[in-house]
Structure 1
Amino acid sequence: MSRTAHVITVSDRAAAGVREDLSGPTGADLLIAAGWSTGVTIVPDEPEEIASAVRAAIADGSRLIVTTGGTGIGPRDVTPEATLPLLGTVIPGIAEELRRIGAVKVPTALLSRGVAGILDGALVVNLAGSPGAVRDGIPVILGLVDHVLSQHAGGDHA
């Protein structure tokens, strides 16, 4: 299996260069430390640009795509709406666990509407847009990604 991942930061301000992207590099560093080759893309909170970035990462060979940002309840938070229609298989338990572990430290993590699932043989997971959410979420994802991709490809339970 390809050990290629991609982190997509969804932020109007980071995309405009007004705010430094802290979440994307945090995610990339954690993935690299776990043995994944990784890139980071920054897009604004626009559904078409989010979907395009996810599709481009998969076309470039990524088997794991992690988005960070745009999962809340604000008027520009559209990452789940952009991601969900792309997914052939939705895996609600991953998003539920990410909310659960986040809420242990930050109760408002329950407001995240992130989704997770499979698109064209790749695992796609939405994380909230804070470095803390990324630090908490990446280990959960890394603990599941190999099994998810193996199962989706027809592998047996190991």
Structure 2
Amino acid sequence: MAKIGIITVSDRASAGVYEDLSGKAIIATLNDYLVSDWTEVYQVIPDEQDVIENTMIDMVDNKGCCLVITTGGTGPAKRDVTPEATEAVCDRMMPGFGELMRAESLKYVPTAILSRQTAGLRNESLILNLPGKPKSIRECLDAVFPAIPYCIDLMNGPYLDCNHEVIKPFRPKKK
């Protein structure tokens, strides 16, 4: 069974000022996409770089998540440090994910260029940063998720089987 980490980075949601809708949007989207068994490892944390880094490390190194998806902390505000935390804990970066998400978001809002989403690899796991708005989460995941199952395959992770009527992952044809 695949373990997928979901991290909501928000001072206010972590303090209980408001409900975390973004993390729940990721979980709902993954439930739409995946037909294989998976379990969530879910946390809501403040915008503190050391907390973000330690949470990502724990989800990958200790909890065995093959995929960690963050939401929030990717804008230009001073406390938006999720990309810096991601870069600090990853062995290699995967800039194409951020590039595609920004291109997709530009179809809806001109401020998408302010977003700093990125992705990277830690050990045999993919860490992906998403924006903080639930609507944007689905738009971005619809764009990049077709590449995620194959990326996880290449890192010897669990096979993520998808509902092909909802999302069509790319995997090369076997010869």
Match of 1:19 in 2: 18
Match of 2:78 in 1: 75
Contact 1:31 1:37 in 2 (8 A): no
Greater share of residues in helix: 1
State percent identity of aligned pairs: 36
Contact 2:22 2:71 in 1 (8 A): yes
Matched to 1:109, the amino acid is A
The Cα of 1:114 is off from its aligned counterpart by 1.5
Report the RMSD for the aligned CA atoms in angstroms: 1.5
Match of 2:110 in 1: 107
Structure 2 length normalisation: TM-score? Answer: 0.82
CA distance in 2, matches of 1:140, 1:104: 12
CA distance in 2, matches of 1:139, 1:54: 23
Matched to 2:9, the amino acid is V
Contact 1:115 1:125 in 2 (8 A): yes
Structure 1 length normalisation: TM-score? Answer: 0.91
Tell which structure's C-alpha radius of gyration is larger.
2
**Superposition pairs for residues 60-71 of structure 1, below 5 Å?**
60-71=63-74
SS in 2 for 1:70: coil
- Give the gaps of 5 or more residues in structure 2: 157-170
1:98 maps to 2:114: no
CA distance in 1, matches of 2:120, 2:90: 6
Matched to 2:40, the amino acid is T
Describe the superposition over 1:96-137 as per-residue Cα deviations: whole angstroms up to 9, x where unpaired.
001110111111111111110111111101011110121112
- Give the gaps of 5 or more residues in structure 1: none
CA distance in 2, matches of 1:79, 1:24: 15
Match of 2:119 in 1: 116
Aligned residues: 154
Contact 1:32 1:38 in 2 (8 A): no
CA distance in 1, matches of 2:92, 2:152: 12
CA distance in 1, matches of 2:23, 2:87: 21
1:37 maps to 2:39: yes
Matched to 1:66, the amino acid is I
Match of 2:159 in 1: none
CA distance in 1, matches of 2:56, 2:28: 19
SS in 2 for 1:77: coil
